[in-house]
């Protein structure tokens, strides 16, 4: 089998020929049709992710056909079209992952390969409404968006929801999921083209977060949002606390802009705000996300499809975040 | 009637003789037996509270007998022993107070007086298990503690709960309520005597928050807390985020130590923490609190009882926070 492998820190991935995989007890081997990139893969290749240990095959998202089952696995899985839940070892607490939790593609070999081996619990039948490319696009970003919106953010149809930094995979799924349940969705971006694209996907409109005072204009034009989904943090975070409606929730699944300069505690307690952290989700979040995609026939937004051999080019593209939606790898 | 009145900013309260009160439609006049102090009263007298408009009779907590009912009020209230819910105009949203919300004792005349007039909705029968002094001790601090613990903090019997800065009214009720439902409660204080007192009320133990690295010793000895109830904020807030268990909640009903120096966003999202603001509570929080006090026969902790004429001395005492529990005023 072939695999795009991280062979050293801060190096491009290397295309390797490897032995075909065999499953241990409780595992399955999946022949991958498609995979998808996440910002996590970019952070790993530039050395900015904890626990990097080469050599490792990167890749968290994948879809394909079950090739072989290890001992104790129901043989009915063989030949089935599947997608993979990339979150391994969540544990029993819906509120938080266990210490064993990790994501496929580091430290275990991932999906940028023609084959991958995973515990059978990670399998989920491929949604019929999705192509192979779309199927690979949903697992990690879709589950992260689902958890932020629903498990942590308690999103409801009558909520006004702001999704910051539209264009990334998670933000774009959050937009699609929130729109699907009937919520009123707004976005921010530094790109007018991305805001227009968001509107075409159901957003009511958007604001350029680089413009001084955009929060005040937001409140004047739209009203305060009940729920904000953010992955930036940084200097703009205080503005989000001012922008949020009394009783509002701000959910962060990342902090690409770093730490906020300060936190206005008076706003926190007098507005009864909830500042909630969120990550990739539990097995329930994963299956809830797939159910939502099927119920509302959501079509994942794919920015571009690359060949497996072109993975480095796709990762390079992520450097300046030009994308809207997912980068997918076509493997077989 | 007599009333301790704020007649100008940063002045001691002045004992005034005033006209007896008469109720408007929907209101009642209560002859007060007891009142109680809150830190709010201290902040107002030193000029550090929004919206100070003398002259005003301070005081949020009170208990007494209904003297007179305005039009539209059920006459059955006359002669009844009552306590007052000091939160007026909460509104319909359990998640947050309306813009009309305010607390008895600013801008409306409060309970440091022999009579007070309130909307009939603020009345609640006096719990039979409490003395007059204890009855006046519970409303504002008890409701604030109840909301922080239960409505916002979702406290459960199997939670490990840390209450910072034990000794203040809210913190002490939080300790008693959390202990009552069977939770494992720990406290912090700069005073060994206060920690000992907390242990006598059911706390498992305590730590001196002035000692460098107390959070690490806490985790080593006790394990991480699921829920932290804090009203300090300030430089120690980051330490609380490190201390909280994964999936933990930190509830702030104040920030006497000001803004945190920074917020570790990685901790926020990877530990899936919830940073939740809380204030005085809704009518449901108030009646839930009274029910809890009656169910578990909780005896409010009273530090000292003063006469109404001695109100200024009681307020002065709060300057350096020596108290454990409530300061109560005996009025009639």
pLDDT in tens, A130-168: 999 999 999 999 999 999 999 999 999 999 999 999 999
Average pLDDT, integer, range A307-316: 97
| C-alpha A283 chain-centroid distance | 14
Confidence of residue B321 (pLDDT cuts 50, 70, 90): confident
Contact status of B330 with chain A (Cβ, < 8 Å): no
Residues of B in contact with A247 (CB under 8 A): 93, 95-96
Contact status of A260 with chain B (Cβ, < 8 Å): yes
The predicted-structure confidence for A264-279, as pLDDT tens digits, reads as follows 999 999 999 999 999 9
Average pLDDT, integer, range A164-179: 97
Average pLDDT, integer, range B26-39: 98
Residues B160 and B133 grouped into a single domain: no
Average pLDDT, integer, range B39-65: 95
- pLDDT at res. A261: 84
Tell me which chain A residue has its CA closest to the CA of residue B251: A269
Residues of A in contact with B275 (CB under 8 A): 268, 274-276
B132: distance to nearest CA of chain A, Å? 30
Contact status of A51 with chain B (Cβ, < 8 Å): no
The answer as to whether B293 is a domain residue is no
The predicted-structure confidence for A39-56, as pLDDT tens digits, reads as follows 999 999 999 999 999 999
d(CA A141, CA A145): 6
Instruction: Tell me the pLDDT of chain B averaged across its residues.
Output: 97
Total number of residues shown for chain A: 332
Tell me which chain A residue has its CA closest to the CA of residue B102: A270
- pLDDT at res. B291: 98
In this predicted structure, the answer to whether residue B202 has a pLDDT above a threshold of 90 is: yes
Instruction: Compare CB distances from A265 to B233, B247, B268 and report the shortest one's residue.
Output: B233
The answer as to whether B295 is a domain residue is no
Instruction: Compare CB distances from A233 to B233, B260, B265 and report the shortest one's residue.
Output: B265
Residues of B in contact with A264 (CB under 8 A): 259
In this predicted structure, the answer to whether residue A20 has a pLDDT above a threshold of 90 is: yes
Residues of A in contact with B274 (CB under 8 A): 274-277
Q: Which residues contact B163 (CB under 8 A, 6 or more apart)?
A: B171, B174, B175, B178, B185, B186, B187, B188, B203, B228, B229
d(CA B198, CA A270): 28
Residues B218 and B245 grouped into a single domain: yes
Residues B84 and B187 grouped into a single domain: no
Confidence of residue B329 (pLDDT cuts 50, 70, 90): very high
Average pLDDT, integer, range A106-112: 97
Burial label for B156, CB within 10 Å (0-12, 13-18, 19+), is middle
SS3 of residue B69 by DSSP: strand
- pLDDT at res. B57: 98
A250: nearest Cα among B273, B90, B237: B273
In this predicted structure, the answer to whether residue A304 has a pLDDT above a threshold of 90 is: yes
- pLDDT at res. A213: 95
**Cβ(B143)–Cβ(B289) below 8 Å:** yes
- pLDDT at res. A184: 98
CB contact under 8 A, B275 and A258: no
Residues A240 and A319 grouped into a single domain: no
Contact status of A235 with chain B (Cβ, < 8 Å): no
CATH number of the structural domain spanning residue B61:
3.90.180.10
Contact status of A95 with chain B (Cβ, < 8 Å): yes
In this predicted structure, the answer to whether residue B262 has a pLDDT above a threshold of 90 is: no
If you search the block for the tokens 């109560």, which residue do you land on?
A: B328
The answer as to whether A286 is a domain residue is no
Instruction: Compare CB distances from A269 to B253, B259, B272 and report the shortest one's residue.
Output: B253
CA-CA-CA-CA torsion sign (A230, A235, A236, A239): positive
- pLDDT at res. B248: 98
In this predicted structure, the answer to whether residue B322 has a pLDDT above a threshold of 90 is: no
List the single best residue of A93, A271, A272 to mutate versus B (max B Cβ within 10 A): A272
Instruction: Compare CB distances from B255 to A233, A259, A269 and report the shortest one's residue.
Output: A269
Considering only A111-115, A244-248, A315-319, B181-185, which range has the smallest mean pLDDT? A315-319
Tell me which chain A residue has its CA closest to the CA of residue B262: A262
Confidence of residue B323 (pLDDT cuts 50, 70, 90): confident
d(CA A239, CA A260): 10
List the single best residue of B97, B272, B285 to mutate versus A (max A Cβ within 10 A): B272
Contact status of A152 with chain B (Cβ, < 8 Å): yes
B64: nearest Cα among B112, B5, B12, B13: B112
A170: nearest Cα among A215, A202, A137: A137
Instruction: Compare CB distances from A254 to B97, B269, B276 and report the shortest one's residue.
Output: B269
Tell me which chain B residue has its CA closest to the CA of residue A241: B277
B23: nearest Cα among B56, B59, B70, B58: B70
Q: Helix A169-180 crosses helix A139-146 at what angle (to 10 degrees)?
A: 50
The answer as to whether B16 is a domain residue is yes
Residues of B in contact with A258 (CB under 8 A): 265
d(CA A10, CA B319): 57
In this predicted structure, the answer to whether residue A322 has a pLDDT above a threshold of 90 is: no
Instruction: Tell me the pLDDT of chain A averaged across its residues.
Output: 97
Structural domain boundaries, residue B202: 154-277
CATH number of the structural domain spanning residue B224:
3.40.50.720
Strands A56-57 and A27-36, by their bridges, are unpaired
d(CA A97, CA A268): 26
**Cβ(B59)–Cβ(B111) below 8 Å:** yes
Residues B190 and B131 grouped into a single domain: no
Tell me the β-bridge partners of A277. A252
Contact status of A128 with chain B (Cβ, < 8 Å): no
- pLDDT at res. A320: 85
DSSP structure class, residue B100: T
Tokens of A73: 């696995």
The predicted-structure confidence for B90-100, as pLDDT tens digits, reads as follows 999 999 999 99
Q: Helix B283-295 crosses helix B139-146 at what angle (to 10 degrees)?
A: 100
Q: Where are the alpha helices (DSSP H) in chain B?
A: 39-45, 132-137, 139-146, 169-180, 192-200, 214-221, 237-243, 265-270, 283-295, 311-317
B267: distance to nearest CA of chain A, Å? 8
The answer as to whether A288 is a domain residue is no
In this predicted structure, the answer to whether residue A323 has a pLDDT above a threshold of 90 is: no
The answer as to whether A10 is a domain residue is yes
The answer as to whether B284 is a domain residue is no
Residues of A in contact with B255 (CB under 8 A): 265-266, 268-269
> Per-residue DSSP letters for B248-284?
-EEEES--TT-S-S---HHHHHHTT-EEEE--S--HH
Average pLDDT, integer, range B128-151: 98
B3: distance to nearest CA of chain A, Å? 29
Contact status of A177 with chain B (Cβ, < 8 Å): no
Residues of A in contact with B262 (CB under 8 A): 259-262
Residues of A in contact with B51 (CB under 8 A): none
- pLDDT at res. A288: 98
Confidence of residue A219 (pLDDT cuts 50, 70, 90): very high
Q: Which residues contact A157 (CB under 8 A, 6 or more apart)?
A: A181, A182, A183
Residues A15 and A109 grouped into a single domain: yes
In this predicted structure, the answer to whether residue A328 has a pLDDT above a threshold of 90 is: yes
- pLDDT at res. A276: 98
ipTM of the prediction greater than 0.85, yes or no: yes
Residues of B in contact with A252 (CB under 8 A): 265, 268-269
The predicted-structure confidence for B270-291, as pLDDT tens digits, reads as follows 999 999 999 999 999 999 999 9
CB contact under 8 A, A265 and B260: yes
Confidence of residue B244 (pLDDT cuts 50, 70, 90): very high
pLDDT > 90 fraction of chain B, expressed in percent and rounded:
97
Contact status of B242 with chain A (Cβ, < 8 Å): no
The predicted-structure confidence for B4-30, as pLDDT tens digits, reads as follows 999 998 899 999 999 999 999 999 999
Instruction: Compare CB distances from B277 to A96, A253, A271 and report the shortest one's residue.
Output: A271
Average pLDDT, integer, range A14-20: 97
Q: Which residues contact B209 (CB under 8 A, 6 or more apart)?
A: B164, B165, B188, B189, B190, B236
| pTM for this model (two decimals) | 0.95
CB pairs under 8 A between A and B: 109
The answer as to whether A148 is a domain residue is no
In this predicted structure, the answer to whether residue B266 has a pLDDT above a threshold of 90 is: yes
Residues B311 and B219 grouped into a single domain: no
Residues B6 and B133 grouped into a single domain: yes
Report how many domains make up chain A. 2
Residues B316 and B246 grouped into a single domain: no
Report residue B289: phi and psi, to 5°: -65, -45
- pLDDT at res. B109: 98
B320: distance to nearest CA of chain A, Å? 22
Residues of B in contact with A269 (CB under 8 A): 252-255, 277-279
How far, in Å, are A192, A315, B149, B181, B244 from residue B188 at the CA level?
51, 49, 17, 20, 14
Residues A9 and A126 grouped into a single domain: yes
Residues A257 and A183 grouped into a single domain: yes
List the single best residue of B265, B266, B271, B280 to mutate versus A (max A Cβ within 10 A): B265
Residues A204 and A164 grouped into a single domain: yes
B254: distance to nearest CA of chain A, Å? 6
B31: nearest Cα among B70, B79, B96, B93: B79
In this predicted structure, the answer to whether residue B149 has a pLDDT above a threshold of 90 is: yes
Contact status of A233 with chain B (Cβ, < 8 Å): yes
pLDDT > 70 fraction of chain A, expressed in percent and rounded:
100
Tokens of A84: 């993979």
- pLDDT at res. A76: 97
Report residue B157: phi and psi, to 5°: -60, -30
d(CA B289, CA B139): 9
């Amino acid at each position: 089998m072939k695999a795009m492998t991280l062979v050293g820190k801060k190096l491009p991935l290397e295309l390797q020929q490897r032995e075909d995989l065999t499953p241990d007890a409780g595992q399955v081997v999946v022949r991958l049709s498609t995979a998808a990139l996440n910002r996590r893969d970019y952070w790993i290749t530039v050395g900015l992710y904890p626990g990097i240990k080469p050599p490792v095959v990167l890749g968290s998202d994948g879809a394909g056909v079950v090739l072989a089952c290890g001992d104790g696995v129901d043989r009915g899985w063989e030949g089935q079209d599947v997608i993979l839940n990339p979150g391994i070892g969540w544990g029993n607490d819906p509120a938080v992952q266990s210490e064993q939790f990790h994501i496929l593609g580091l430290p275990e070999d991932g999906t940028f390969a023609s084959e991958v081996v995973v515990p059978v619990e990670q399998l989920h039948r491929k949604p019929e409404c999705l192509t192979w490319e779309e199927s690979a696009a949903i697992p990690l970003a879709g589950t992260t968006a689902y958890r932020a919106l629903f498990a942590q953010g308690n999103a409801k149809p009558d909520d006004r929801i702001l999704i910051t930094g539209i264009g990334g995979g998670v933000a774009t799924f959050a937009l699609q999921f929130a729109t699907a349940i009937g919520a009123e969705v707004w976005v921010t971006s530094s790109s007018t083209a991305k805001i227009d694209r968001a509107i075409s996907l159901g957003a009511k409109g958007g604001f350029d977060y680089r413009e001084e005072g955009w929060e005040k204009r937001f409140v004047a034009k739209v009203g305060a949002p009940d729920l904000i989904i953010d992955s930036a943090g940084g200097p703009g975070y205080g503005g989000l606390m001012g922008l949020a409606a009394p009783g509002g929730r701000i959910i962060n699944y990342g902090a690409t802009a770093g730490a906020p300069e300060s936190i206005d505690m008076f706003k926190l307690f007098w507005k009864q705000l909830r500042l909630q952290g969120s990550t990739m989700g539990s097995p329930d979040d994963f299956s809830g996300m797939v159910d939502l995609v099927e119920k509302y026939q959501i079509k994942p937004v794919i920015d571009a499809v690359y060949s497996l051999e072109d993975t480095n080019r796709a990762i390079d593209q992520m450097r300046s975040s030009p994308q809207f939606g997912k980068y997918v790898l076509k493997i077989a």
